[in-house]
Structure 1
Amino acid sequence: MSTFVQFDVNAAQAASDHAPLAPAGDGGAA
């Protein structure tokens, strides 16, 4: 489970870098 959470955080960070318009909160909620 921890691995999944870590991956989600990494994905959110990458998405934020790719699309700064999208808030990081969206990734965290996912």
Structure 2
Amino acid sequence: MKNEIHELKNDVKDAVAYIRVLEKRINDMDNG
């Protein structure tokens, strides 16, 4: 079970990083 939670945390980190990249791209579009 511990392994599954660890995997889930990594997935969440990846998702958050991905969303931040998308947000940055959207902000760049708005500014440019």
The TM-score normalised by the length of structure 2 is 0.58
Indicate the RMSD between aligned Cα atoms, in angstroms: 0.6
Size of the aligned set, in residue pairs, is 20
Pick the structure with greater CA Rg: 2
**Identity across matched positions, percent:** 5
Q: Which runs of 4+ in 1 moved over 6 A?
A: none
The TM-score normalised by the length of structure 1 is 0.62
- State the structure with bigger RCO (CA 8 A, min sep 6), 1 or 2: 1
Structure 1 spans left out of the alignment, 5+ residues: 21-30
Structure 2 spans left out of the alignment, 5+ residues: 1-12
